[in-house]
Structure 1
Amino acid sequence: MSTLYLKFELCSDWHIGNGKEAGAYADAMVLKDAHGLPYLPGKGIKGLLKEAFSLCAKNQWFGDNSDALVNQLFGVEEYSGVEAQGMLQISSGRLSDGEQAYFIQHPDAKRYLYRVVQSTAIDHESGVALKGSLRSMEVVVPLVLEAEVTMNTAHPSYAASGLTEELFSRYLSEAVTMITSLGAKRHRGLGQVMVSVQPNSGE
């Protein structure tokens, strides 16, 4: 196994929803872990990475076998629903261990991680807010999250991929530059992010 670390520097408020409402507080709530802390689910990170790698592959950043490499890394889901597991295993993105420990020990401080923003739909002809269109959304303030990306070198596709740990690190570093936003309402300025690859957690 070869592990690299992704650093997500959120530069704006962001929202990944849990599909629930909270009455008068907000119409859309943020996804939180068992300790009430925000995080990026591993499945969502995998989707962002696959989209980024696919864009790079489309532009032949990884040579002639770019499309095959994306399938080897992320797996393939057939129309029949049968999945072929890829070489990558991706953890959820979370606050650093020290930050998690602090918020668990000081639960009252968690409220500073969140705020509520409101928006409304505007009638383009009159310029007046549409009746009943006011919505409130809980968002997470800008912060830094960390995730692990592990390449399974024992995977059957590893030898065929031609990847070395050094080469994969370079490809990953190039691909994450394609990720500039995440979560909901990205076209409205939420979820602006810078992603980088770190050899060790916290570097």
Structure 2
Amino acid sequence: MTINYELKFFDYWHVSSGLSGGAALDSYAVKDSAGLPYVPGKTIKGLVREAAEMFWDRGDIDKCFGSRGSKVGQENNDDTTQAQCYFSSAIIDEKIAAEITSNELESNLFEIISATKIDENGIAADKSLRDIEVVLPITLIGRIENIDDKFAQNLVRALKSVKRMGLNRNRGLGRCEFKVKEL
């Protein structure tokens, strides 16, 4: 079974590429080879797994999402489980992406925001200014494949539980909603 979904962002969002811009930027948003933003499947998988852990049986979580071998107190434990479910990256719809790239509009999807630490006296702390590249609110599409029928409804529930994503999600960035389009 496959779940197709839309991931709609309501605010600026930032999923980090891990790259710094030196003096220009502290962190770039992740982009594909065409310069378009996307959310990696592993990011979605991690957030959905975190949501699923609130109401799913541990054995089913390990089957669907996979597990690592070494558990607390069990060094060198090779008891790993391969993930059954495959999480694609969430990307811009193909037709919209083609329109954006053919008109060279990729840079219009991004803004730079700045933040600084304010000390107890209300004054900006020295050397605390940070600039990050954020993506404008946009809708992405993705899918989860190879789903056992018994996992489908819990995966939908976990997807719908994810309300924020990316950097500073607890400070106003990355407010989002997953909408299941097709089961």
Q: Are 1:117 and 2:100 matched, yes or no?
A: no
| Whole-angstrom distance in 2 between the partners of 1:106 and 1:142 | 19
Alpha-carbon contact 2:9-2:174 (below 8 Å) kept: yes
Question: TM-score w.r.t. structure 2 length?
Answer: 0.89
SS in 2 for 1:198: strand
| Whole-angstrom distance in 1 between the partners of 2:81 and 2:132 | 37
Q: Which consecutive unaligned segments of at least 5 residues does structure 1 have?
A: 58-65, 153-162
TM superposition shift of 1:16? 1.0
Q: Are 1:103 and 2:89 matched, yes or no?
A: no
Q: Which has the higher helix share?
A: 1
SS in 1 for 2:119: coil
What is the match of residue 35 of structure 1? 34
What is the match of residue 63 of structure 1? none
What is the match of residue 4 of structure 1? 3
How many residues end up aligned between the 2 structures?
Answer: 177
Question: TM-score w.r.t. structure 1 length?
Answer: 0.81
Q: What code does the residue aligned with 2:28 have?
A: M
Residues 142-197 of structure 1, C-alpha deviations (whole Å, 9 max, x = no match): 00111110025xxxxxxxxxx53xx5332222122220111111111001111121
Q: What code does the residue aligned with 1:139 have?
A: V
Structure 1 pair 142–77 and aligned structure 2 pair: CA distance change class (3 A): same
Map residues 12-23 of structure 1 onto 2, 5 A cutoff: 12-23=11-22
SS in 1 for 2:21: coil
What is the match of residue 71 of structure 1? 62
Q: What code does the residue aligned with 2:129 have?
A: L
SS in 1 for 2:51: helix
| Whole-angstrom distance in 1 between the partners of 2:24 and 2:109 | 15
What is the match of residue 154 of structure 2? 171
RMSD: 1.7
| Whole-angstrom distance in 2 between the partners of 1:81 and 1:115 | 45
Residues 55-102 of structure 1, C-alpha deviations (whole Å, 9 max, x = no match): 122xxxxxxxx2211111111111137432121011101000111111
Residue of 135, 142, 148 corresponding to 2:143: 148
Name segments (4+ residues, structure 1) moved above 4 Å.
none
Alpha-carbon contact 1:172-1:197 (below 8 Å) kept: no
